[in-house]
């Protein structure tokens, strides 16, 4: 203990010398975030970026990719190649973000409209069959009527993938026997559903010839 007491002045001097007495860069004029400033005419200390500044990774050179517009109208093509991978991604994103309201096949029979929200129109009506593909991108980007926009939740590439998938849905729901390759059975037997699904969950397919089983089965009273 006595040796510690002898050391104390030395420790104190060390602390002062290294931390307490260095003032060089610590004391200088600066503005607190969002504070007022008398220096600039607009009274703000925070400055806007110089006009034309582009943050790294934010260059939006391909305007069509980000807007879906050709001039003032909607374009009718995808800004990249539509592959099976793109459509698979589109279906996945559609089922997550759109199906709860629009239904898995885009007929407007999602789960949420059963709880009071206005039922969205089916994608299979004449008017929406005829709109250019860029229109779907625009609705997702800017919203439509009471439907909010999804630009902050869904990045542009995924919005395009969803637009492509909506076109695939329209094709599938409007298909005729002429679209079926020769030798294919038409109509293919429809699966029997145990539960209609909610739009947010996949319908459970009843195994053929078997009684419904599992959680949804009513308990005998």
Binding site for ligand HEC (CB under 6 A): 97-98, 100-102, 112, 117-118, 120-121, 136, 139-140, 144-147, 150, 154, 162
User: Whose CB is nearest to ligand HEC?
Assistant: 145
Which of 127, 210 has the CB closer to ligand HEC? 127
Helices 156-173, 133-142: axis angle to 10 degrees equals: 130
Range 71-77, long-range pairs (CB < 8 A, 24+ positions): 73/132, 73/134, 74/131, 74/132, 74/133, 74/134, 74/135, 74/137, 74/138, 75/132, 75/133, 75/134, 76/132, 76/133, 76/134, 77/133, 77/134
CA atoms of 16 and 19, how far apart (whole Å): 6
Question: Least distance from C-beta 136 to ligand HEC, angstroms?
Answer: 5
Question: Least distance from C-beta 154 to ligand HEC, angstroms?
Answer: 6
Q: What are phi and psi of 73, to 5 degrees?
A: -95, 175
CA atoms of 200 and 104, how far apart (whole Å): 8
User: How many other CB atoms are found less than 10 A from the CB of residue 180?
Assistant: 13
Which of 27, 146 has the CB closer to ligand HEC? 146
Which of 132, 206 has the CB closer to ligand HEC? 132
Which of 92, 195 has the CB closer to ligand HEC? 92
Residue by residue, DSSP assigns 46-105 as SPPPPTT---TT-----HHHHH-EETTEEP-S-SS---HHHHHHHHHHHHHHTHHHH-TT
Which of 132, 203 has the CB closer to ligand HEC? 132
Question: Least distance from C-beta 60 to ligand HEC, angstroms?
Answer: 21
Question: Least distance from C-beta 67 to ligand HEC, angstroms?
Answer: 16
Question: Least distance from C-beta 152 to ligand HEC, angstroms?
Answer: 12
Which of 29, 145 has the CB closer to ligand HEC? 145
Question: Least distance from C-beta 18 to ligand HEC, angstroms?
Answer: 58
Contact between residue 6 and residue 13 where contact means Cβ atoms under 8 Å apart: no
């Amino acid at each position: 203990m006595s040796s510690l007491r002898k050391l104390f002045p030395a420790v104190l001097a060390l602390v002062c010398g290294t931390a307490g007495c260095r003032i060089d860069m610590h004391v200088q004029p600066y503005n607190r975030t969002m504070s007022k400033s008398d220096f600039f005419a607009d009274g703000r200390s925070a400055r806007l970026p110089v006009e034309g500044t582009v943050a790294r990774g934010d260059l939006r050179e391909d305007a069509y990719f980000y807007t879906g517009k050709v001039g003032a109208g909607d374009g009718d093509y995808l800004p990249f190649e539509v592959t099976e991978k793109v459509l698979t991604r589109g279906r996945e994103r559609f089922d997550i973000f759109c199906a709860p309201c629009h239904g898995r096949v885009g007929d407007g029979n999602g789960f949420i409209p059963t709880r009071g929200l206005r039922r969205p129109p089916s994608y299979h009506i004449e008017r929406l069959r005829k709109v250019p593909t860029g229109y779907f991108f625009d609705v997702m980007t800017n919203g439509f009527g009471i439907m909010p926009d999804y630009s902050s939740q869904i990045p542009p590439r995924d919005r395009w993938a969803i637009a492509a998938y909506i076109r695939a849905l329209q094709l599938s729901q409007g298909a005729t026997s002429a679209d079926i390759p020769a030798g294919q059975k038409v109509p293919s037997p429809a699966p029997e559903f145990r539960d209609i699904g909610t739009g947010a969950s996949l319908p459970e397919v009843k195994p053929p010839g078997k009684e419904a089983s599992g959680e949804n089965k009513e308990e005998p009273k």
